[in-house]
Amino acid sequence: MEFTAQQIAEALEGSVDGNTEEKVSNVSPIEQGQAGTLSFLSNPKYTDYIYSTNASIVIVNEDFKPDKPINTTLVRVKDAYQAFASLLSMYEQAKPIPVGIDEMSKIHTGAKIGKDVFIDTFAVIGRNAKIGDKVQIHAQTYIGDNVTIGDGSIIYPGVKIYHDCHLGKQVTIHANAVIGADGFGFAPKKGENFQKIPQVGNVIIEDHVEIGANTCIDRATMGSTIIKEGVKLDNLIQIAHNVVIGEHTVMASQTGISGSTKVGKDCMFGGQAGSAGHITIGDNVKVGAQAGIGGNIKSNEIVLGSPAINYSVERRAMIAYRNLPEMWRKINKLEKLLDE
């Protein structure tokens, strides 16, 4: 499918700087741009590539001013990154949506299946499960008893959703994620093995949530582990029992949230960040990569380090840490002078 620069500009409410009839049929990174492809420039670090890229069309911010001649056609928009993401979404939505139930899937007679559903090979649907309209359930997926999946959700291959969990509309769960496994609950017994505490709650995932591959979200001991509307979780994330993640919070890969922690809305977690259990993290908190959160954090804070502290304090501490070897040598020298 081909698109002209003019068609792209109209779709993005932008303007064309160059050949309005230039055509593209694929996309490419600007540093690896090829003829016939569309790319974008939003990060200033990649500006030099726009003078050498072979991409036929590049989406740029409307205030972009080149320092040298450019051989490609530009589409100017308010926000190049957002515009490119919107264009990819439109392209993705234009793809045909699979429909139909494979004869090698296993659906319990008590399950309720909506309209225009896709259920692929070796998928298993448990008793009393409710599958909404236009849901996609891909190969080798397990949907447990009493699970509810809302309209338009996509469950990719190998996902396991344990019994009694509830998913809202337009939820996307990527390959091999596990939803609703037991929380890590064991009671110590003197001189004996730990006694397992039954996990009798469930997991509730609200609308428009996306969960990455191999991510695990544990069921609550009692009540619910809740992932609220619009949350985006990367691959390889652990969400423990009774955790609540607020609306539109995003977490990068290998983040771990311990049991009964409450995370506010619009938060951002860098990779490998972690939290202790039974704490509260406010709204609009930004957590740096590899940060270790040991206590409550107020709203609108930015924290770094382990233990995590305010980013301005941590930055000063990191500067001091880098100077420790030189400081140590100076202290040793001063001690020797004092002894003399």
Q: Would you please indicate which residues are annotated as catalytic (active-site) residues?
A: 241
Burial class (CB in 10 A: 0-12, 13-18, 19+), 276: middle
Structure tokens at 291: 């940060």
Any residues with CB less than 8 A from the CB of 111 and at least 6 apart, and which?
Answer: 125, 126, 127, 128, 129, 130, 131
Any residues with CB less than 8 A from the CB of 135 and at least 6 apart, and which?
Answer: 114, 117, 118, 149, 150, 151, 152, 153, 154, 155
Q: Can the peptide bond before residue 307 be classed as cis, meaning omega within 30 degrees of 0? A: yes
85-102 burial by CB neighbour count: b if 16+ within 10 A, else e? eebeeeeeeeeeeeeeee
